[in-house]
């Protein structure tokens, strides 16, 4: 059964957004603090866990710390994993969130994981008709929906397998990369639509 570790607001949102059918086909754990014993237990049952998916919102102190804790632990235990992460909005920059730190953590995860994708939250601002008046909660819902859809696709395709080959894990990486490409494509389409509407108003 595929194991999922959720970190931060993204990890919680994905857990809430997945259907019962999908949750029944994976093991989902919300990591809200350092849990060395959790990873020790994970290692003991590693033969029944073909892959771990780390889902984390990066940029904040807690998210960065826990994501690195998970990545280091999984690498140390030689457990294959992929990571779906987000970098914070620029307007969130401050004492609690930092985009540069988020990118730095993602780069460290890339040294440990089989595959890592970082979804840039700022891209969502190009996808809404009026970023200034759109609620922050609505912006996060768009991001969450992309990640939830991707996780559902992975579980539906591979959740029934007791073991995953290197090719299977590579294919999951391709699915993640394709989701990133679609993300960028949708941003481009929405941006052009906004430009068209603005031009028609002139």
Query: Considering just the CA atoms, what is the radius of gyration of the chain in Å?
Result: 17
Residue 20: both structure tokens together: 């019962």
- Digit-by-digit pLDDT tens for the chain (202 residues) are 899 999 988 999 999 999 999 999 999 999 888 777 888 888 788 788 899 999 999 998 888 999 999 999 999 888 999 999 999 988 888 767 888 999 999 999 999 999 999 998 888 887 776 767 777 888 889 889 989 999 999 999 999 898 999 999 999 999 999 988 887 777 666 556 544 443 344 4
Task: Give me the domain span that covers residue 89.
Answer: 2-201
Tokens 């922050």 sit on residue:
136
Indicate which CATH number applies to the domain containing 139.
3.40.50.1440
Structural domain tally of the chain?
A: 1
Query: CB under 8 Å to 132, separation ≥6 — which residues?
Result: none
Cα end-to-end distance, the chain, whole Å: 56
- State the alpha helices, DSSP H only, in the chain: 8-17, 20-23, 36-44, 61-76, 99-110, 136-158, 166-201
Q: What is the DSSP letter of 60?
A: B
């Amino acid at each position: 059964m595929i194991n999922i570790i959720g970190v931060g607001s993204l990890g919680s949102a994905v857990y809430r957004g997945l259907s019962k059918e999908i949750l029944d086909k994976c093991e989902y754990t919300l990591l809200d603090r350092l849990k060395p014993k959790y990873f020790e237990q994970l290692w003991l049952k590693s033969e029944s866990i073909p892959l771990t998916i780390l889902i984390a919102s990066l940029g904040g102190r807690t998210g960065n710390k826990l994501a690195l804790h998970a990545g280091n632990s999984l690498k140390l235990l030689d457990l294959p994993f992929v990571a779906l992460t987000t970098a914070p909005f620029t307007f969130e920059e401050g004492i609690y969130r930092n985009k540069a730190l988020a990118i730095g953590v993602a780069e460290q995860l890339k040294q440990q994981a089989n595959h890592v994708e970082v979804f840039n939250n700022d891209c969502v601002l190009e996808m809404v008709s009026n970023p200034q008046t759109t609620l922050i909660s609505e912006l996060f819902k768009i991001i969450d929906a992309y990640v939830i859809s991707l996780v559902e696709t992975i579980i539906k395709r591979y959740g029934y397998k007791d073991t995953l080959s290197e090719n299977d894990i590579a294919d999951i990486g391709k699915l993640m990369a394709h989701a990133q490409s679609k993300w960028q494509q949708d941003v481009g389409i929405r941006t052009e639509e906004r430009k068209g509407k603005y031009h028609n108003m002139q």
